[in-house]
Amino acid sequence: MVIENLQIAPLGEWLLGAGWSDGLLWQPLGITLLLVLLVGGGLGLLFALRRSSTAPGPTTSLWIGGIFGVLSLMVLSAVALCSTAETRNWLIDSAAMPMFAAMVPLLGSNWSGGALYTWVGVATGLTGVVYACGWLASILVGGPLAGTRQCGRAMVDIASDLARISARRVFALAWLAVRESLRRRVVVVFVVFVVLILFAALFIKKDSLHPGQLYIQVVLNFTVYLSMLFSLVLSALSLPADIRDRTLHTIVTKPVRKIEIVLGRVLGFIFVGTVLLGGIGLISYGFTVRSLSHTHQLTADMLHAKSLPGDRGTLLQGATSRSHEHEHEVTIDPSGEATVEVQKDHTHDLYVSDSGDKKTYTLGQPKGLLQARVPIYAKTLSFRDKTGKPKEKGINVGDEWTYRSFIEGRTAAAAIWTFEGISEDIFPEAKFPTGIPVEMTLEVFRTHKGNQEKGVSGTITLGNPKTGKRVFLRNFLAKKFATDVQMIPRSFVTAGRDGKAETIDLFRDLVSDDGRLEITLQCLEPQQYYGMAQADLYLRAADGSFAWNFLKGYLGIWLQMALVIGLGVMFSTFLSGPVALLATLFAIIVGLFSGYLVELAGGKMVGGGPFESAQRIMTGDNMVSALEPGMKTTAIKVMDEATSMMMRHFSAVVPNVAENDFVDRVACGFNVGGDLIARCLLCEMAYLLPVILLGYVCLKQREVAQ
Amino acid sequence: MSSGSMIMNPPSLSAGDRSRRRKWIYGVSMIVLIVVLFWLSFPATLSTKEFKGQPGGVLAQYRDQHGLSQTELGQIDPTSETIRLATLGMRGIAGTTLWWKATEYQMKKDWTRLRAALDQISKLQPHSILVWRYQAWNLSYNVSVSFDDYHDKFYWVIEGLNYMLDGVRMNDKEPRLCWDMGWFISNKIGRDDAAKYYRRLFSGERGTDGKEPPDYVKDFRERFTPPSGFPPGSNLRDNWHVGKAWFLTAESKIAPPRYPVRGMAQVIFYSHAPTCQFYYADNLEKDGTFGQVAQRAWQNAEDEWYAFGERPIDTSYDLALQLNRKEELFDSAEAKKDQLNKLAPGVRDELEKEKRPNLAPEDRASWDKYREALDKYKNEKKNRKGKKSEKPLLQPSVDMDLKDRAEAKPDEIARRSPQAHHQEALDLAKEIENDETLAKYTTRERSKVNFDFWRTRARAEKTAECLAARKAIHDGDQAFAKGDLIRARPEYEKGMHGWRKVLDDPEFRSLVEDICLGGDLLDVIRRYQKCLDQDDRGLPQPFILQDIIDKHSRPEDSPPDNSDKKVKSPTSAAEKK
């Protein structure tokens, strides 16, 4: 059960850069000023555009077209300069860095890492490139003055169209799209899902070690594929079909704007998709909960008594009946406390009732199978090597996947998680009476067999980073690839340095006054290793509602669906149906592998770019040997550099479909946090906005829509 | 207007006629196409008591001819068929993507998703043998060792076996999958580092803590019966016997040309089932079972090995050989050589005298020794003729290179034979050469499976001395494990004396060379040495199993605390050597 990158930066940090809170603009006064400017200026512009009924004059058009043209040429130059490493560095040193430095007081330190600024940069670049292409084409066709004037007029038209969007008309067009979808029997998707769910039991492995994870993954993945397919077909084929059947002509003759047509389609299809997803979500939730729900039988005959040494009473041991391909070992101690063994990620509550001489045992519904843990992750994970020196990373034991680092046993090597923002408010005594639960999933690497019947032992130490006080908590046995829960008591007695017993209060002695707490793990067995990553140890702050988390999983699917609809409608404004379908499909596939594309574009792939790889394949060279110097190699390098440049620009605009995928988190029982959802919603809006605008511009250029 | 359109809609006809004409053309075309399709792909029907089956259309016959139809390959799984159809001809792409994902899941140690991905791959490619073989091996051998607890490890070993079982079900004519089942069950479970625990879990018996065996073991045991069933007398609690049954099933599925022995020499393929019996007998004793049960197990092992030696085996020499025939071929060649000597009296001695000066003095001595042993063997054989003897006669052997240089070749003798018997001598020389070549090939084939060692081992292990020695060592180990070194020491001494007796028998002397047995005995000597350490004594000199120490101990085995011992230890002996 491994999920990478569970840690999500706070929304503000992600959106505006790490040091945004220092920026003057983001102080109350700055924000107020900004809002006044944006709202005031925006509304002013909006009213001005809505009230201007006539087209701009030739001089105004020429001025507007010229200004945009110059700006677009600047953008184009910047894009061109960014294409090679040397010119890019020059541009950064001579223009970007001074500008970054100048903006620091206003926007805060590290502002350039903020997603908002990146988006503004990319959107500006893209607009500049599109405008520059259009402008140059117009100049070629009609000459410099006429071309510039035409472009200026087009810009005003676009702005005017945008300002005049009518919610009523958009709603009417959206409703039309809904009716069209119904006419196309979109409800078949729902039927297909129901049929798939009916036969899902055939595909799902009954004896999985993690049934909850598997059921949720299967159900959500079914939904992902189905929703993608449905939204792809619906969005990419709708507009071309209308153009072919000349239905669109009846619409464009009405007083509607092209932007309203595009927007109406997108919103209409999203509405249909939302309703469908709602229905599918309800069914799949019911299916998951119903399929995993079970209990076991336990009778007195199934338990056998075992006398404890020293007349300490009688222990009852036994196993429950078999259900859902498993059974649980049950132990009832002399005090009557029952322990039901954890099997397949869950346990059951055991209720014992006396009816005369006979005891009746009843097991409750599974506990821990469907959950939504709310973890608090450490701010940092640091290491100490075997001599005790601080290190950024531990040892690599030869794993190809370097997500985890390892520490050697019986040495000074240690892994230290530092938590921030820990306080009694987060862990109130009423809710956490026994202490703070720490959950960890460690990897164990043995260099010798050791004692195979016993896990590799380790130790947990707690520390106050400010006072330097360190307290041994306990030893434990590592459970590889299984979640181990350790409780940190709110107060406990430990041996002090002088050997005397000392009572430690967790929040008073170990959590620093700025809310920091250190948890240190060490392996105790020589030549054995523990492996860990930052997200492998966390404090379990609360348990969210599974139903709510399941809904968030569907929200992720909804975001993916909306993205596909936006892209499909955009492509369908200028491509024929099948081509638009293929183009959207291509964009989604590229979006799914965007990480790979970024890696490829960054020239980080072992074995070089496409041309170098092809050369290596043909000559049978391995991936790391240097190519023979010569003209051929130079040519290959140049071609790879050109491809890499194209890919770099391309990778900046492909949709990151995988980002909205919450399936793993929901399946592995982790709560999908508000920050993550907000970030994905913002990304979606930031992506759909230019996509819809592009669709509108393309539709505007089509003859059919004139 | 195109010519096609002209045929369909000639302008001379009215609209109604054109429509009728079009319908006729469509109708006729459909009938023609249906006939062609029927001829091509009419499915075959199976024969029953009442009906005679039909061979089907061209494609069905072609599939049948090459054994490619689904029913020919194995069972048809509806889920698998549905998934394959649902990929709309993109099965290859889907399979490749899933394989890629599976590799990624394995790298990221996401075992649940890896298992799910492997299931999907196998549903897409149910008749691709390599998929089943590779991924089952991957689960049993690679994924299992990623875990720390032996219970978890064993779960994944069983997962690999379950995966392979699915493969067997889908490809029930394929011998390789059954062979792999045999290999995994016997080798992985029986010889892993955690074999002690695996064997106990596999047996399906309650653990030492009284716990029931895990569910996955129970489930696996419910379905682990091979298609050919278990041979009579099989111990289903023991992995070696279950593995043997699967090897035998694999043997029963060999049906050339479509299902020949692939990927390994036939001699190796057929050796595994009887080898399992050796390991079974060996493990019986390790688990503390001696007496008649163990003796019978070793006797069975010898019998099965003999039966294996009788089986004609195809070799790369384009000959079918029987491993048991080597001794007969040797005797036959020697008898013919004597006959040849009679046809050409004195020629052999004359030729060997000519070759002798070219030999080094030690080679001359070795050759003389061989000749002497050969004469002794022949005399003994002559004396035994017609008498029943329990002990087989050991054939003398000599380095082949020395034989080449020192021996008078039959064709050389024949060439110098008197004119009267010249042709007869030449024919005889050819026969001798043929026998010797076959004997040489048989020796090579035998060496591939350590034939002589296993045969000797079975004969040695079933003897009363060997059984007693094994029992004494086992009792010693029990006492040693409990920390009772005083009781362990005499048991070890008794065991080592027993082994000395066995190894001194000329028939079993070759066992000294064996690494497995040598390693086992070396471990015993180490434990014995620990018993002696209590009294600060070294091994008694001369040590009774010194030849084992000299042969098998390695410098890196040196226990650090033994370096200052005054007397010769297994390690110091090796270092001296």
ipTM of the complex: 0.74
Contacts of B152 in chain A (CB under 8 A): 480-481
A229-264 pLDDT, tens per residue? 888 888 888 888 888 777 777 777 777 888 898 999
B148 vs A209, A327, A455: nearest CB: A455
Q: Which of A219, A209, A438, A402 is nearest to A324 (CA)?
A: A209
How many CB pairs below 8 Å do chains A and B form together?
A: 66
Give CA torsion, residues B300, B305, B306, B308, to 10 deg: 130
Give the per-residue pLDDT at B76.
Answer: 61
Contacts of A478 in chain B (CB under 8 A): 148
A210 vs B112, B148, B219: nearest CB: B112
Q: Does A446 contact B148 at a Cβ distance shorter than 8 Å?
A: yes
- What residues contact B73, with CB distance under 8 A and at least 6 apart? B67, B127, B170, B171, B173
Among A481-495, A544-558, B326-340, B352-366, where is mean pLDDT lowest? A481-495
Mutate: best of B90, B148, B199, partner A, most A CBs <10 A: B148
Contacts of B101 in chain A (CB under 8 A): none
Contacts of A669 in chain B (CB under 8 A): none
Minimal CA separation from B150 to chain A, in Å: 7
pLDDT tens for chain B, 577 residues long, are: 555 566 666 777 788 888 888 899 999 999 999 999 888 888 777 666 666 777 778 888 887 777 666 656 666 666 666 667 677 778 888 888 899 989 999 998 888 889 988 988 998 888 889 999 999 999 999 999 988 889 899 999 999 999 999 999 989 889 999 999 999 999 999 999 899 899 999 998 877 667 778 888 988 999 999 999 999 989 999 999 999 999 999 999 998 887 888 889 999 999 999 999 999 999 999 888 888 999 999 999 999 999 999 999 999 888 899 999 999 999 999 999 999 999 988 899 899 899 989 899 999 999 999 999 999 888 888 887 766 666 777 888 888 889 889 999 999 999 988 888 889 999 999 999 999 999 999 999 999 999 999 999 999 999 999 999 999 999 999 898 888 888 888 999 999 999 999 999 888 888 888 888 888 889 889 889 888 887 788 888 888 898 888 888 876 555 434 433 433 444 433 333 3
Mean pLDDT in residue range A387-400: 91
Q: Which of A290, A329, A314, A240 is nearest to A581 (CA)?
A: A240
The band of A699, judged by pLDDT with boundaries at 50, 70 and 90, is: confident
Contacts of B146 in chain A (CB under 8 A): 481
Q: Does B148 contact A329 at a Cβ distance shorter than 8 Å?
A: no
Q: Does A480 contact B147 at a Cβ distance shorter than 8 Å?
A: yes
Minimal CA separation from B373 to chain A, in Å: 49
A686 to each of A42, A117, A268, B54, how far by Cα in Å? 18, 12, 19, 66
Q: Does B150 contact A455 at a Cβ distance shorter than 8 Å?
A: no
Render A347-414 in DSSP notation, one character per residue. Answer: EEEEEEEEETTEEEEEEEEEESSS-EEEEEE-SEEEEE-TTS-EESS-B--S-S-TTSEEEETTSS-E
Q: Does B107 contact A401 at a Cβ distance shorter than 8 Å?
A: yes
Give the per-residue pLDDT at A703.
Answer: 65
Q: Is the pLDDT of residue A651 over 60?
A: yes
> Rg (Cα) of chain B, in Å, rounded?
34
Q: Tell me, letter by letter, the H, E, C secondary structure of A430-482.
A: CCCCCCEEEEECEEEEECCCCCCCCCCEEEEEEECCCCCCEEEEEEEECCECC
Give the per-residue pLDDT at A275.
Answer: 92
- pTM for this model (two decimals): 0.77
Contacts of B211 in chain A (CB under 8 A): 329
User: What is d(CA B185, CA B220) in angstroms, rounded to the nearest whole number?
Assistant: 12
**Angle subtended at Cα B310 by Cα B306 and Cα B312, rounded to the nearest 5 degrees:** 145
Minimal CA separation from A49 to chain B, in Å: 52
Q: E strands of B92-212, at which residues? A: none
Mutate: best of A453, A479, A532, A593, partner B, most B CBs <10 A: A453
Render A305-361 in DSSP notation, one character per residue. Answer: EEEPTTT--EEEEEE---BTTB--EEEE-TTS-EEE--BTTBEEEEEEEEETTEEEE
